[in-house]
Structure 1
Amino acid sequence: MMRKIYQLLFSVLIASSILACKPDGAEYVDELDIVYTNYDAGFDFQSKGTYAIPDNVIKITDQFIDFNPGDEPEYVDQVYAVTILNSIKSNMDGLGYRQVDPSANPDLILLPSVTQTDQVFFYYDWWYWNWFYPGWGPGWGWYYPGYYPPQVSRVRTGTLMIQMTSPNDLDATDKIPVVWTGVINGLLEGNTNSISKRVNDSINQSFSQSPYLKK
């Protein structure tokens, strides 16, 4: 299953790269943006009503993490972070969920991050969220029940990743399940207005192609 997912995403990325080189191919960067989503088919999204989301978007610039628990990571510029966060909130609200403070025991927590590395595994970043994730410390983490998220190979600078976790559905080892994942590859090229529009359009697309999220 994992191998098939890798092959599928890799094929899409390669096809987009080839298209960009063709004389009659894409003329604008927004034509090359890729939106990928995956989810736990056994998870009951309709039973969840509230969500929380950080006020910042984490920026990851290195495949190999040298990060101490309790430290705060580097963040994406607020010019882009506001667009990312507002777009996620708008989609979640439109699907019937209600935003609450992370201390209010939300049903779902969404974790957005932007990477500029050449390769990223979805298992990479739970240490990054110690500053936000309520009530957790060293030794915690998450897992992907029922599906395997792909390795992301960068084609152009900027990949936005959104992980939706369910903090109240721990497994036997106290791992938090990631029940939905969105990957948007190819962002952060062009001027500010162009990037903001593409970010918003791509996030909208990631939710639009995930109808099972609607309450």
Structure 2
Amino acid sequence: MALIAVANPKGGVGKSTLATNIAGYYASRGRDVALGDIDGQQSARWWLEQRPAAARPIALWEASPDWLGRPPREAHSAVLDTPAGLQGWRLKDVLRKADRVVVPLQASVFDIFATRQFLDELHEMHAGESQRIGIVCMRVDPRTHAADQLQEFVATLGLPVLGHLRSTQNYVHLAAHGLTLFDVSPTRVARDLEQWQPLCRWLDAA
């Protein structure tokens, strides 16, 4: 089983958006996938409750901040949405169990500052295994100075950048119905699917 954790100590960076769409991607590939949510806001769990019965199934992984437990036995892939401020033994427990860690990062000096120590800790825990950690730049407008700052920052990390996802209402509208980019006609979200291709290839290798 491939266990993918979506983690960043900063809130509001798009963890739930990434986690639900990664689960949707696995489901679109015909995999049995489970989605866990240890964030107090339970956004991913709420999203799963909105998912139409006709959509490709995604199972609920019953997990909590104090007890991750195990994903459903039948799951071939599992995705874990984590809370802001994850640290200490809880962080180490997640990182120890995860096969891969996806870190969403926004083009903001505050996000960059808040994430630096976390990424250093990740790097230290997975020394020599940098392929297990991937950065996804969220809500990026490449025309801005903030985007340039983000590029300069990620270039210092020695970690793969798996994609630059634009700010679009597609994610918002689909999430409201328990859906992902991978549940609708590709022509409707073609630009976004193109941005996901490097991340999808990385996930396939997990």
Q: Same fold (TM over 0.5)?
A: no
Structure 1 or 2: more helix by fraction: 2
- Of structures 1 and 2, the one scoring higher in RCO (CA 8 A, sep 6+) is 1
TM-score by length of 2: 0.35
Q: Which of structures 1 and 2 has the bigger CA Rg?
A: 1
